[in-house]
Amino acid sequence: MQHPDKTISSVNPSAHHTAQSADRHDRSSGLAHAHNERNKLIEIKNVNKIYATPEDDKVYALKDVSISVSPGEFIAILGPSGCGKSTLLRMIAGLDQPTSGEVLFHGVRVVQPSPRISMVFQNFALLPWKTVKENILLALRSQPTTEVQKARTASDLLEKVGLLNFEHHYPGELSGGMKQRVGIARALSVNPEVLLLDEPFSALDEVTALDLRKQLLDLWQEKKANDTYVLITHLIEEAVLLADTVYVMSHRPGHVIGTVHIDLPRPRFEHHRTKRFFAEVDKIQRLLAQNASIVV
């Protein structure tokens, strides 16, 4: 009779090797997952937002929203008007709080604005009694640099957005596109880790908006390793043109109905309105149509 120990030792060595490989794979997958979790810059976890009306009714703005953003990523949150996407952006900025769920930045819950997160508003939000340069210097007040360095930073950014010759002008003397260039320069002046963009081109004509989208991409590309951009938009082509990943939201109460990873190389403008570009647009259109129960 064969000894039990010998029976155990006669197990197929290739099967044993396979088991070891599977174990190593499981361990490496677990480590990779843990690394990816640690590598998330922004995490929106199961966020809900409910507003109370004067009549004591409840308005459900956001429902169980979860989104994660990695460092250096450009994402777009796209959805119809009133779906809560701007509310979501304000939560990332620390200007609003969820009713339930949480928003994390570097693993820490966001409860107030952070100097490492800047925002570009759709209405420009410039002080009309301050010059272009003074509006940027205002954002630099709390920076631990000399006045000379602050002035140089402001001038450098104005040169990047093509407005150095307008630094002593007032906002009322500028076009809409020029005002938004100032808004972008001001937001970038504090060298943020995250730039939040709340439909920044919605008040502009399409020609100006297209020019600013290209300029925005150039600025992001210049510092891609460090800068993370989060764009709010209701324009599908804008989302495809700018973002790495598009989170598509439903009508109110807003929730994520799909995630589209844009399969287009950069520089993205070289592929604008090509067959591949419109294939990505079509993916998003179908998601929105399915949510609205419309056959495309």
pLDDT at 28: 43
Hey, what amino acid is at 201? F
β-strands 245-249, 42-52 pairing: unpaired
Q: How far is CA 273 from the centre of its chain?
A: 23
Q: In this predicted model, what pLDDT tens digit does every residue of 11-32 receive, in sequence order?
A: 344 444 444 444 444 444 444 4
* Residue 247 to residue 258: CA distance in whole angstroms: 6
pLDDT at 267: 87
pLDDT at 163: 95
β-strands 100-105, 42-52 pairing: antiparallel
DSSP state of 16: H
pLDDT at 292: 77
Nearest to 124 by CA among 77, 38, 82, 183: 183
Sheet containing strand 42-52, strands side by side: 58-69, 42-52, 100-105, 108-109
Instruction: List Cβ neighbours of 93 (8 Å cut-off, separation of 6 or more).
Output: 113, 117, 119, 196
**Domains by residue range for the chain, with CATH:** 55-116+202-296 (3.40.50.300), 125-191 (no CATH)
Encoding tokens for residue 281? 């647009």
E strands, 95-253, are 100-105, 108-109, 117-120, 194-198, 228-233, 245-249
Q: Please, what is the end-to-end C-alpha distance for the chain in angstroms?
A: 72
pLDDT means per 10 residues in the chain (296 residues)? 38 45 46 55 98 85 97 96 95 97 97 95 93 96 92 95 96 96 95 96 93 93 82 97 97 96 92 94 94 58
Helix (H, G, I), strand (E, B) or coil at 262: coil
DSSP state of 97: -
Whether 200 and 180 have beta carbons less than 8 Å apart is answered as yes
pLDDT at 223: 72
pLDDT at 38: 59
pLDDT at 54: 81
Encoding tokens for residue 98? 């969820």
b/e map 208-225, b = 16+ CB within 10 Å: bbbebbbbbbebbeeeee
Q: How far is CA 193 from the centre of its chain?
A: 11
Hey, what amino acid is at 31? L
Sheet containing strand 74-78, strands side by side: 117-120, 194-198, 228-233, 74-78, 245-249, 256-261
Asked if the peptide bond before residue 98 counts as cis, ω within 30 degrees of 0, the response is no
pLDDT at 56: 74
Whether 103 and 44 have beta carbons less than 8 Å apart is answered as yes
Describe the crossing of helices 206-222 and 176-188 by its angle, rounded to 10 degrees: 20
E strands, the chain, are 42-52, 58-69, 74-78, 100-105, 108-109, 117-120, 194-198, 228-233, 245-249, 256-261
pLDDT at 224: 63
